[in-house]
Amino acid sequence: MSRLLITGGAGFIGGNFTRYWMRQHPEDRVVVLDALTYAGNLESLQDLESDPSWRFVHGDICDRELVEKLFREENIDRVVHFAAESHVDRSITGPDAFIRTNIEGTFSLLEVARAVWQERDDVRFLHVSTDEVYGSLDTQDAAFTETSPYRPNSPYSASKAASDHLVRAYFETYGLPVLTTNCSNNYGPYQFPEKLIPLVILNALEGKPLPVYGDGKNIRDWLFVEDHCTGIEAVLQNGKAGEVYNIGGGTERTNIEIVETLCSCLDRLVPASLSYREQIQFVTDRPGHDFRYAIDAGRIEARLGWKPAMDFETGIEQTIHWYLDHRDWCDRIRSGAYRDYYEQQYSQRTR
């Protein structure tokens, strides 16, 4: 039996992972620590509430005292660290929160793990990172491997790169049993509708413009979120301490292809008088916009036997269905109304 601390478990990937882990490992204890920023929504984990093996703690990963208390109280032996500021555009307009959470927050967790886990070799700290730390590829370049140089271009990716370096240093210097995963773009249920795929789905249904940055030719490598969860599970269970594992879907698409795929799917599922393509609007590009990301997942495939299970077309259709069926969730997270839910549910509860 393991005792997990999942940071950022009320966010998109952390929430999917929490749900996945509790399904696959019902014997484990799971503690979710989340600050419930604009991106964290406890409603996404509502169905787990009655499960006694689960505990939610509303708190900040930068609060070292709280983190240490949790480690000791819960006898934590696995950390899966998702908590972050994750949106590139927000990092351009307001980088402070990214430096604080992504760098100082990771540092705080590492310091607590170092202090509490002294001499223990039955523990693991998995740091969830991104392919954006490797910078941008040209069309003809080979995909990123674990030895690609770090060349972050946005405040977001620079803050994630800094956190990756700290994680590495804690292995080399202190022997802390860390693992790092660098993953490509995720899509699927519960993604905050500021990211391309949910934003386009909801704008299309609401008759709003579908904003495509620049010429729409930038390329991302898409992975269904549950495949990211199985990748993290494989690394947490069988990865080698101190190693880095790239995780990716091998599904490279230009942004305009993504938007057109979504429009075609929506035209079929929710036909309107005009094709949703009519709503596509090319807009000013993102400053420092990375041209292409692509992941070489050869290491995790060869060493840990991981492979993505979901093909892109099925995954996109499932995702559209999820957003169609969860319009309430979308309205509440966009309006901030979900915070009332937290107040009602948790204001009487202590940490």
Task: Provide the annotated active-site residues.
Answer: 131-132, 156
34 binds ligand NAD, rule: CB under 6 A: yes
Report the partner that residue 324 touches, choosing among ligand DAU, ligand NAD, none (CB closer than 5 to 8 A by kind).
none
Closest of 303, 237, 300, 310 to residue 25, by C-alpha: 237
Task: With contacts defined by CB under 6 A, name the span among 41-49, 110-118, 209-217, 300-308 that binds ligand DAU.
Answer: 209-217
CA distance 236 to 129: 14
DSSP reduced 3-state for 215 = coil
Task: With contacts defined by CB under 6 A, name the span among 205-213, 230-238, 316-324, 337-345 that binds ligand DAU.
Answer: 205-213
CA distance 227 to 234: 11
CA distance 40 to 10: 5
Question: How near is the Cβ of 11 to ligand DAU at its closest, in Å?
Answer: 10
Retrieve residue 277's tokens: 């393509």
DSSP reduced 3-state for 343 = helix
Minimal CB distance residue for ligand DAU: 130
271 CB-near residues (< 8 Å, 6+ apart): none
Retrieve residue 343's tokens: 């107040």
Question: How near is the Cβ of 185 to ligand DAU at its closest, in Å?
Answer: 4
Report the partner that residue 36 touches, choosing among ligand NAD, ligand DAU, none (CB closer than 5 to 8 A by kind).
ligand NAD
Question: How near is the Cβ of 345 to ligand NAD at its closest, in Å?
Answer: 16
Question: How near is the Cβ of 35 to ligand DAU at its closest, in Å?
Answer: 17
Footprint on residues 264-293 left by ligand DAU (CB under 6 A): 286, 293
80 binds ligand NAD, rule: CB under 6 A: no
> What are the counts of helices (DSSP H) followed by strands (DSSP E) for the chain?
13, 12
Closest of 280, 242, 247, 239 to residue 261, by C-alpha: 280
Footprint on residues 88-127 left by ligand NAD (CB under 6 A): 101, 105
Q: Which amino acid would we find at residue 342?
A: Y
**How many residues make contact with ligand DAU (CB under 6 A)?**
19
Residues found near ligand DAU in the complex (CB under 6 A):
86-88, 130-132, 184-185, 195-196, 199, 211-213, 218, 220, 255, 286, 293
